[in-house]
Amino acid sequence: MIDTPAQVESRPTAPSVPAPEVPRQPRPERHPEEGTPDPVFRVKDLSFYYGPHQALRDVSIDIGAHEITAFIGPSGCGKTTFIRCLNRMNDLIPGARVEGEIDFEGRPLYGADIRAIDIRRRIGMVFQKPNPFPKSIYDNIALTPRRNGVKKSELDGLVEESLRRASLWDEVKDKLQQSAFSLSGGQQQRLCIARAIAVRPDVILMDEPCSALDPVATFRIEELMAELKGDYTIVIVTHNMQQAARVSDRTAFFTVDVSDQGRVGVLVEIGETSNIFTSPEDQRTEDYITGRFG
Ligand X SMILES: Nc1ncnc2c1ncn2[C@@H]1O[C@H](COP(=O)(O)OP(=O)(O)O)[C@@H](O)[C@H]1O
For 106, the enclosing helix (H) or strand (E) is none
CA 284 to chain centre: 24
Task: Name which of 191, 185, 183 is nearest 162 in CA terms.
Answer: 191
Burial letters for 68-84: b for 16+ Cβ neighbours within 10 Å, e otherwise? bbbbbbeeebbbbbbbb
Asked if residue 212 lies in contact with residue 130, where contact means CB atoms within 8 angstroms, the answer is yes
Q: Which is nearer to ligand X, 87 or 187 (CB)?
A: 87
Query: Is position 80 an interface residue for Mg ion (rule: CB under 5 A)?
Result: yes
Site for ligand X in 75-114 (CB under 6 A): 75-81, 93
Report the distance separating Cα 178 and Cα 143, nearest Å: 15
Nearest position to Mg ion, beta carbon: 80
Residue 78, contacted partner among Mg ion, ligand X, none, CB below 5-8 A by kind: ligand X
Binding mask of the shown chain, residues 35 to 54, with x at each position contacting ligand X by CB under 6 A: ---------------x--x-
Supply φ then ψ for residue 62, to 5 degrees.
-110, 140
Q: Which is nearer to ligand X, 81 or 189 (CB)?
A: 81
Binding mask of the shown chain, residues 258 to 287, with x at each position contacting ligand X by CB under 6 A: -------x----------------------
Query: Is position 20 an interface residue for ligand X (rule: CB under 6 A)?
Result: no
Report the distance separating Cα 48 and Cα 245, nearest Å: 27
Report the nearest approach of ligand X to the CB of residue 87 (Å). 14
Report the nearest approach of Mg ion to the CB of residue 80 (Å). 3
Query: Is position 90 an interface residue for Mg ion (rule: CB under 5 A)?
Result: no
Say if residue 7 is exposed, middle or buried (CB neighbours under 10 Å; 0-12, 13-18, 19+).
middle
Binding site for Mg ion (CB under 5 A): 80
Binding site for ligand X (CB under 6 A): 50, 53, 55, 75-81, 93, 265
